[in-house]
Amino acid sequence: MFMLAGWSDLFNYFDDVKCVKDFYFTDSKKGEVIVFSQEIRFLIKGETFRKYLHKKPYIVDDFLAEKNIKTGEDGKKYYCVYGEVDSTQLDNDDILYLYINDVPRAMNLGELFETAGITQNSTLQPQYFLGGSFLDPNNPDDPNTDTSIKVPMYSVVNNQVKRFFVKPINTEAINQTPVYNAEVQSHIAGLFAVAGGNISVLSGYSNKRLGLDLPLGINESVTPELSRLYESLSPEGKASFVGNRYAFNKTGFNDRYISMIDAQKAYMMSTILQSNLDKKLPQKNIPGQPSIVRDVTTDKTQQGRDLIKALNDNGMPIPEFYANMLGITEWQAGMPVYYQKLPEEVNDLPTERTEDIKAFVEQYS
C-alpha cells in the first residue's frame, strides 16, 4: 500500500515523508525493459511513522538489525521502504496504470449552493435557519418575514452583561435539498468511477480535497469476528471504532450488512457533506456585523447549556450521523452546530443587585 500511495503522489502532501523516484534499464527475455524504482523515506520522529509504522514487529526487527535506516541530508533519521515495477506492467494495465490516476477535482461549492437555492448572492436563505421560512417574493425586505429562532446568549465580564443572539442553522435541511443532494451523489458516483477498488485514489481525494485521512478498515470487508466486537461496544465506542464503521450499517433485509463499496460511498457521502458545510458556511467575524460560526455544543457553561436546551426545545433536527449511527435522539454536548451570531450588546450591571441579579451573575460569570 505504501508503494501504491507513492506512485499516486500521495506523499507529496506529507511534510514528514519523502518519496525518491528513479528508473533504470535492464535486460529480460522479451528484450530491454525499464524498471521504475522508488524509495519512500519516513521521518522516524514524524507523525506518519508514529501512526503507521511505530512498534510494528517487522519494523522492530529492521531496527534491531539496523536495516532500511538512512540519515538524510538534513541530518535526520529516516526509515526507508523500497519498491520497483517494470514497464511491462504498463502494457498489462497493471500497477502503474491503476495508481497514477489524477485525484478528481473538488466540488464547486459556490456555484452549487447558488444553483440549489441554498444561497442567493452568497447569502444563506432564511428557510435554512431553524424556524425560518421562505421570503415573501412580493416583499423580500420586510423584516417581519424573518421567522427564524433567535436564542439569547449571555455572559458577565468585568461588571458588564454581554448579550448576543444566535440563529441556529438547520444543516439537515441543507443536506437534504433535492438539487444539492443529487449533485453530491453524482459527484460521489464520478469519484468512484475512478476510485472504485483503487484505495490510493480514494485516499488521495480524502487527503487533497477534504484534508482527512481515510479511517482504518475503509478497504476491509466485515468479518463475523469484527461484527461481534463492534456490536459489543458502547455508542461512544462505535463512533471511534478503528474499523470502517459504515460497513456496519444494516440494509434492513435479512439483517445483512451493506457491501464494502457501498460502505465506502456512505462514508464519503457523510464526509463530503460535512466538509462542504465547513467550507461554505463559516464567515469571518467583522466587528458590528453578523457572522456564521461553526461551534461544538458544550454543557460546561451556562451559555452552552442554554444553547443545547434551545435546540431541543425548538426541534432542531439531529445530524444524520449522530441519529442513525449512534442512536442519539436529542442534542447533547460534543455535537457540531452552525449558527449566525448577531452583533453583541454590552450593558453595565446595576450598582445595587437583587437576589435575582446575583444569581444571574453567578450563572453566567
pLDDT in tens, 46-59: 999 988 888 888 88
Q: Is 292 helix (H, G, I), strand (E, B) or coil?
A: strand
Q: What whole-number distance in Å separates Cα of residue 82 and Cα of residue 95?
A: 15
Q: DSSP of 322-342, one letter per residue? A: IIIIS---S--TT-EEEEEEP
Indicate the DSSP class of residue 287: T
Mean pLDDT of 310-336: 87
DSSP string, 127-155: GGBTT-----TT-TT-GGG-----EEEEE
152 pLDDT more than 90: yes
CA distance 358 to 35: 79
Q: What is the DSSP code string of 69-99? A: EEE-TTS-EEEEEEEEEETHHHHTT-HHHHH
| Mean pLDDT lowest among 29-43, 149-163, 340-354 | 29-43
- DSSP 8-class letter at 330: S
Q: Would you state the pLDDT for residue 173?
A: 95
Residue 100 confidence (pLDDT) above 50: no
User: Which three cell numbers, joined as nine digits, stand for 282?
Assistant: 463559516
Give the domain ranges of the chain. 2-99, 112-170+281-364, 178-279
Which range is least confidently modeled, 70-84, 110-124, 321-335? 321-335
* Cell numbers linked to 246: 459504515
Q: Does position 168 have pLDDT exceeding 50, yes or no?
A: yes
The whole-number average pLDDT for the span 347-364 is 86
Higher-confidence residue of 279 and 244: namely 279
Cα(288)–Cα(278) distance, integer angstroms? 23
Name the DSSP letter for residue 170. Answer: -
Question: 137 falls in which pLDDT band (50, 70, 90)?
Answer: low
Q: What angle do CA 271, 12, 191 make, to 5 degrees?
A: 35
DSSP state of 9: T
**Collapsed DSSP state (helix, strand, coil) of residue 213:** coil
Q: How far is CA 118 from CA 181, 277, 317, in A?
A: 11, 11, 17
Q: Is the pLDDT of residue 256 over 70?
A: no
pTM for the model: 0.68
Residue 333, C-alpha cell as written in the block: 454536548
Assess whether pLDDT exceeds 50 at residue 124: yes
